[in-house]
Amino acid sequence: MPYETAKDPPDSVRDNLPGHAQEIFRAAYNNAWDTYSDPDKRRGDEGHEEVAMRVAWSAVKNEYHKDDSGQWVHD
pTM of this prediction?
0.89
pLDDT at 42: 80
CATH node for 11-74: 1.10.1740.70
pLDDT score of 34 more than 90 = yes
Q: What is the pLDDT of residues 2-32, one digit of tens each?
A: 999 989 999 999 999 999 999 999 999 999 9
DSSP 10-64: -HHHHTTS-HHHHHHHHHHHHHHHHHT-SGGGSSTT--HHHHHHHHHHHHHHHHE
Domain coordinates of the chain in residue numbers? 11-74
